[in-house]
Amino acid sequence: MALRKVAIVGVGHTPFTFGGEKTSVELFSEAAMEAINNSNLKPKDIQALYCGNCLGDFSEGQGMVQSYCADDIGIAGIPATRFEGACASATMAIRDAFIWVASGFYDIVLAGGVETASKMGTPLATRTFAMFTDSHYEYPSGLTFPGAFAMLAHLYSAKYGISFERLRRQMSLVSVQSHHYGMYNHLGQLHKEITVEDVEKSFMVTSPLTLYDCCPFSDGAAMVVLASEEKAKKLTDKPVYIIGVGQSSSGKYSAQYKYLPRLRARELSVQQAYDMADIKPEDVDLVELHDCFSIASIIAVESLGFADFGHGGELWEKGETKIGGKIPINISGGLKSKGHPIGATGASQVCDIVKQMKYEVEPQRQAEEVKIGLTDTLGGDGVLAHLVLQRGW
């Protein structure tokens, strides 16, 4: 099937915060209007809204939020659709928006996501995040979402024969780097440098993951406007093209036994995206990947093709993940420092890569010339979605 080229013509991103005072609709509208204004459009130009949101039912007693979001910016009549794929929701929304614009059905779609996870407080947030694991066969054993990655960390050490001490230090280096770049992201949640010792001495959440191995609970929204190439050329001289997309799903955690600690869905999804974009991992200049937990980053870089299996952590040991390194990763501060309003996270990743391409981020964290960027977003124990972005000028 012949697909049209699709560009991101504008992005919007609220500050990510803990215990914010705004509602999901208010956060959405701030991000949405910024994205629409930056696209030189008006709300009436938007033909459809695809909005990620996971836990609004629990955090605000608000279901069907996408409909109220559309109304809030004055376009109640358009088709508005909510995407729920745990933490990958917004990337799924953007991928679907891409497909509908590429197919010719729409010319201009608003996509992204919103979440107010911090409002729930830690006990309810932990409970609801655990809903993104198998509720009948695995939650009864006490599984939490960090628990799933904690088990992967122990498995990783045992399976690849890496001493736990070395893996522990690699995981700490991931968090230290995220906090370093996060210092400079004015839209981020945490602004605090940390040390390897801070990570290892912070309290144990679920062994071996400590507090500083884990991303925080966050509120926030991020939105992007997608347009067909023809429309995009009229709206901006700096279109960012989506040249590859991927999405894949998994069964419950135990059912993935043949691949763990690899997440097979990531490998399937990113391959779709690479193939569509006709690129290889070495063509990527900048990655925003799903570092919900420090170990998650190490596992991710391997399946994305940036390191051999069992060697992902060496990238952080050697500083290859910093600006100027072999593959700069999470220069936004990542989920760890920037924050993780789950339904918005994938769109936030896209926003940061677009701004990096345009030299619009803080100078302390501006990467060198970014022509191709990759976003990697993980939902629960196995929904994966990927986007390959290409600078269009």
Partner 1 sequence: MEVKYKLTFKGWNNSLKKNKLLGLKCRDCGKFTCPPKMTCQECGSINLEVVEMSGEGKIVTYTVSYVPGEGRYVEAPILIVMVELDEGPWIMGNLTDIDPNRASIESLIGKRVKLGPHSKVYPGDAYSTGEEAQGGEARPTFIFA
Least separation in angstroms between residue 203's CB and partner 1 is 8
Which residue in 24, 59, 91, 157 binds partner 1 (CB under 8 A)? 157
Using the rule CB under 8 A, is 268 a contact of partner 1?
Answer: no
Least separation in angstroms between residue 30's CB and partner 1 is 30
Using the rule CB under 8 A, is 144 a contact of partner 1?
Answer: yes
Q: Which stretch binds partner 1 (CB under 8 A): 2-10, 203-211, 269-277, 343-351?
A: 203-211
Catalytic residue among 214, 340, 351, 386: 340
Contact 63, 56 (CB under 8 A): yes
Instruction: Give the start-end residues of each E strand in the chain.
Output: 6-13, 48-52, 80-83, 108-116, 204-206, 209-210, 219-228, 240-248, 286-288, 372-379, 383-391
Using the rule CB under 8 A, is 276 a contact of partner 1?
Answer: no
Asked if 340 is an active-site residue, the reply is: yes
Burial class (CB in 10 A: 0-12, 13-18, 19+), 123: exposed
- Name residues whose C-beta falls within 8 Å of residue 232's C-beta, 6 or more positions apart in sequence: 6, 7, 9, 239, 392
Asked if 69 is an active-site residue, the reply is: no
Which residue in 99, 196, 255, 279 binds partner 1 (CB under 8 A)? 255
Q: Which stretch binds partner 1 (CB under 8 A): 199-207, 289-297, 306-314, 365-373?
A: 199-207
Q: Which residues of 276-303 are buried (b: 16+ CB within 10 A; e: fewer)?
A: bbebeeeebbbbbbbbbbbbbbbbbbbb
Q: Which of 125, 145, 135 is nearest to 58 (CA)?
A: 125
Cβ nearer to partner 1, comparing 159 with 233: 159
Catalytic residue among 54, 69, 87, 351: 87
Cβ nearer to partner 1, comparing 52 with 261: 261
Q: Which stretch binds partner 1 (CB under 8 A): 148-156, 177-185, 222-230, 350-358?
A: 148-156
Cβ nearer to partner 1, comparing 34 with 134: 134
Cβ nearer to partner 1, comparing 171 with 227: 171
Q: Which residues of 30-58 are buried (b: 16+ CB within 10 A; e: fewer)?
A: bbbbbbbebbebebebbbbbbbbbbbbeb
Contact 253, 391 (CB under 8 A): no
Using the rule CB under 8 A, is 103 a contact of partner 1?
Answer: no
Size of the site for partner 1 (CB under 8 A): 41
CA gap 196, 202 in Å, rounded: 10
Residue 24 Cα to chain centre, angstroms: 18
Which residue in 10, 113, 147, 392 binds partner 1 (CB under 8 A)? 147
Using the rule CB under 8 A, is 158 a contact of partner 1?
Answer: yes
Q: Which of 210, 165, 162, 154 is nearest to 312 (CA)?
A: 162
Which residue in 1, 61, 77, 142 binds partner 1 (CB under 8 A)? 142
Cβ nearer to partner 1, comparing 37 with 144: 144
149 phi and psi angles, rounded to 5 deg: -75, -30
Which residue in 18, 26, 45, 124 binds partner 1 (CB under 8 A)? 124
Q: Is the dihedral of CA 152, 157, 160, 165 positive or negative?
A: positive
Q: Which stretch binds partner 1 (CB under 8 A): 129-137, 277-285, 305-313, 338-346?
A: 129-137
Strands 108-116 and 48-52, how do they pair? parallel
Using the rule CB under 8 A, is 61 a contact of partner 1?
Answer: no
Residues marked active site are found at: 87, 340
- Binding footprint of partner 1 on the chain (CB under 8 A): 122-124, 126-127, 130-131, 134-144, 146-147, 150-152, 154-155, 157-158, 164, 203-209, 251-255, 257
